[in-house]
């Protein structure tokens, strides 16, 4: 049945992953030292699809090709979660799809929190996580909850089958 609680969890995970396209993942401030003072020279926001709202004089250090793996992972996860929502009749297949979604989400979290800050290691910058950095974590939590409830349903169905 599509009105199960795990469908709601999958839908929330889908929405949280979709929000990655609309919110910045990190705010980046380049700082230069002039004598004894630190001056802010450039400010821009890093999103999943590239740089969001750079100041008119800023020149981001990364090309937009750097974001292609992240975009591919987010789109794959959206397709997978969307497909998983409608596989409610086959719980075992739905469990496998949710496992794959959790794996993709872990890769996404690792890419955002571990990989992208390392790209700026050479320069004097300050990276602050943006609103979008927390959406993959929210999505991961709801995918794990959906997995637990699907597994719980499967165990319930197996126990009822034993009684027949």
DSSP tally for the chain: helices H, then strands E: 4, 4
pLDDT over 90, % of the chain: 35
Q: What is the pLDDT of residue 156?
A: 87
pTM to 2 decimals?
A: 0.83
Q: Does the pLDDT value for residue 81 go beyond 70?
A: yes
**pLDDT digit string, tens, across residues 29-56:** 776 666 666 565 677 777 787 776 666 6
Is 91 or 16 the better-scoring residue by pLDDT?
16
Q: What is the pLDDT of residue 28?
A: 74
Q: What is the pLDDT of residue 29?
A: 72
Q: If you average pLDDT over every residue of the chain, what do you get?
A: 81
Q: d(Cα 54, Cα 42) in Å, to the nearest integer?
A: 8
Q: What is the pLDDT of residue 41?
A: 66
Q: Which CATH number fits domain 5-163: 1.10.3470, 1.20.140, 3.90.930, 1.50.10?
A: 1.20.140
Sketch the domain layout of the chain as residue ranges.
Answer: 5-163
Candidate from 52-61, 73-82, 83-92, 139-148 with smallest mean pLDDT = 52-61
Residue 53: exposure state from Cβ atoms within 10 A (0-12, 13-18, ≥19): exposed
Query: Beta-carbon neighbour count of residue 33 at 10 Å?
Result: 9
DSSP symbols for 16-31 = HHHGGGTS-SEEEEEE
Contacts of 11 (CB under 8 A, 6+ apart): 85
């Amino acid at each position: 049945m599509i009105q199960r609680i795990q469908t709601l969890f999958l839908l929330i995970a889908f929405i949280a992953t979709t929000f990655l396209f609309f919110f910045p993942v990190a705010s980046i401030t380049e700082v230069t030292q002039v004598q004894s003072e630190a001056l802010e020279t450039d400010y821009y926001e890093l999103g999943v699809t590239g740089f969001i709202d750079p100041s008119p004089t800023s020149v981001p250090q990364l090309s937009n090709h750097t974001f292609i793996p992240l975009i591919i992972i987010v789109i794959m996860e959206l397709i997978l979660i969307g497909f998983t929502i409608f596989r409610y009749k086959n719980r075992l297949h739905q469990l496998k799809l949710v496992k794959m979604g959790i794996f993709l989400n872990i890769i996404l979290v690792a890419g955002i929190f571990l990989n992208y800050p390392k790209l700026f290691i050479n320069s004097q910058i300050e990276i602050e996580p943006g609103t979008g950095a927390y959406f993959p974590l929210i999505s991961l939590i709801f995918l794990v909850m959906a997995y637990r409830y699907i597994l719980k349903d499967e165990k319930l169905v197996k126990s009822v089958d034993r009684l027949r």
